[in-house]
Amino acid sequence: VYFATGTHNPTPYPGLVPGLREELEDAILSVLPSLRYVVFSEIDQPHFGFYGDELPNVMDYLERHYRIPDDFDVDQNSWLLVLENGEDRGRTEIDLLRAASTTERFLRNLDNEITPDDEALPRMRPRLLHRPVPIRLGVRGGGIDYTFTVPENAELQMGLGLRYLRSAFRRHEHPANLLVGVSAIDESGVTRLRRVQILASRTSGASWRDLKVPLDDFAGRTVKLRIEFLSRRPLNDGVLAWLGSPRIAVDDHED
């Protein structure tokens, strides 16, 4: 790629070197702000580790500042991405993918009742600059609850609706025609924040649909943030849906 584009590696490292995480991160983070484009390989080895785990601060920076350009053609077989430096999406105050200790997963049965889901879930490969959070669905859907104190100038950001993902052993297809609901639950009750439909057709889902939900009304309060998938028709019990890199971002530039 360097030869074909007449460019050069901005760091002294030709690849990810195990055991040098801090040194690698410092070198890469020092040059990312000055680059317009990054060529990024999405080939991960689930049996050995994920790039986002090996260099988490680099992954955070790419998710915050970089985008896949609109004119870059991506399909389900693409493994090499071009990323473009762009708008600052805000600092990550809470990475909800890494906040496993404060989460509760649940299923909805045929009567729309909630039951806990404690079964292990497969680890899914990052895709199109998003790290997936798989959620098992019951017959009527399911979801996940995150409990935390909402910071000032906070916004929920996440990707939705990518149709296909892979885990270590198989390919998964996201169910179509689901509603995604976002609610905040505190001592005053349930406040519905957003409800959207995803994957309305068999041809949709080639890329993530980024969703932003402001949380200004709950600043300083401890809430249970509920993100759930709802289905009007019965689903196969145990099918998976997913979120992409859910996080609570804050805008440090606001007054």
Q: For every residue of 193-255, which 3-state class applies, written as one string? A: EEEEEECCCCCCCCCCEEEEEECHHHCCCEEEEEEEEECCCCCCCCCEEEEEEEEEEECCCCC
pLDDT tens profile 158-191 = 999 999 998 877 889 999 999 999 999 998 899 9
Angle at 99 (CA atoms; ends 172, 26), nearest 5 degrees: 95
- Backbone φ and ψ for 43, nearest 5 degrees, come out as -80, 110
Is residue 44's pLDDT more than 80?
A: no
178 vs 49, higher pLDDT: 178
pLDDT confidence bin for 255, thresholds 50/70/90: very low
**pLDDT score recorded for residue 23:** 87
Give the pLDDT confidence score for residue 18 in this predicted structure: 66
Residue 140 has pLDDT above 60, yes or no: yes
Cβ partners under 8 Å of residue 1, min gap 6: 7, 39
Mean pLDDT, all residues of the chain: 89
Q: In this predicted structure, what is the pLDDT of residue 57?
A: 92
d(CA 201, CA 222): 38
pLDDT value at position 243? 97
25 within 8 A of 17, measured Cβ to Cβ: no
Q: Which two tokens stand for residue 113?
A: 């009742």
Q: Quick one: how far is CA 162 from the chain centroid?
A: 11
CA distances in angstroms from 249 to 70, 143, 187, 204, 217, listed in the order given: 23, 21, 24, 27, 15
- 151 CB contacts (<8 Å, ≥6 apart)? 93, 94, 219, 248, 250
Q: In the predicted model, what is the mean pLDDT of residues 93-122? A: 90
Lowest mean pLDDT among 112-116, 117-121, 168-172, 216-220: 168-172
User: For the segment 231-246, what is each residue's pLDDT rounded down to a tens digit?
Assistant: 989 998 789 999 999 9
**Residues 126/51, Cβ–Cβ less than 8 Å:** yes
Mean pLDDT, range 197-201, rounded to an integer: 81
Q: For residue 130, name the pLDDT band (cuts at 50, 70, 90).
A: very high
Cα separation, 160 vs 143, in Å, equals: 13
- Residues 25, 63: Cα–Cα separation, whole Å: 15
| DSSP H or E stretch at residue 179 | strand 178-186
Which pLDDT score, from 0 to 100, does residue 77 have? 74
pTM of the model: 0.90
Q: Taking 80 as the threshold, does the pLDDT of residue 46 lie above it?
A: no
Residue 254 clears pLDDT 60, i.e. is over it: no
